[in-house]
Chains A and B, each alone.
Chain A
């Protein structure tokens, strides 16, 4: 089977940097994705890591270590609009979302 773990909540202030970790157990692993979901909205794609290392897209970066079954999403220069839930998801024999991390950005 597949299982993922993320912190349930993270709080930070505007302008800060926050890291959301994701650990997973899966078979047939292909890659790790990250999605953002605002309250009442739909998930939107942020990034995908198929290989070890860091992927950077603007203020957001995502990291993967396949040997450690671990990844993280790094959000820099936090803005109020970044307050949302963030989900990691594993692509393998199936596609499984983590439980989500609720990020609150304070002024």
Chain B
């Protein structure tokens, strides 16, 4: 059983397009996250949702918007894609807040051309 899954695994698109990445966890966790990992492997938290409420929103462009239809899903919508958005995006979940073990999905490699 996959604990945290993401789709798609790879995403290649052109500048200006709008795309979405889906994330689902079957662990019954209360908190879900989105991270961006750039080409230098820096991992940065983008969003965190706790019981469907946004509890942290890092200084990311408002072109990025998280959507959580229920506790098990946290999708990421990106509008007007830019070259600098190219990265690997990881979804993660945890039982509670930051001090709890986070389980990461396999990642989505986004390439903007």
A interface, CB within 8 angstroms of B: 30-31, 33, 35, 37, 41-45, 48, 50, 85, 87, 91-92, 94-97, 99-100
Contacts and interface: CB of A to CB of B under 8 A. Distances in A.
Nearest to B109: A40
Q: Which of A44, A92, A94, A95 has the most CB of B within 10 A?
A: A95
B44 interface: yes
Contacts of A85: 41
Contact of A96 (B45, B97, B102, B104): B45
A97 B42 contact: yes
A95 B90 contact: no
Q: Which secondary structure dominates chain A's binding surface?
A: strand
A43 to B, nearest CB: 5
A37 B35 CA distance: 14
B44 A97 contact: yes
28 contacts: A30-B98, A33-B99, A35-B102, A37-B41, A42-B90, A42-B104, A42-B105, A42-B106, A42-B107, A43-B43, A43-B104, A45-B103, A48-B99, A85-B41, A91-B97, A91-B98, A91-B99, A94-B56, A94-B58, A94-B98, A95-B33, A95-B45, A96-B45, A97-B43, A97-B44, A97-B45, A100-B41, A100-B43
A81 to B, nearest CB: 18
A5 to B, nearest CB: 13
Interface string B80-113: 0000000000101000011111111111000000
A34 to B, nearest CB: 11
Nearest to A100: B41
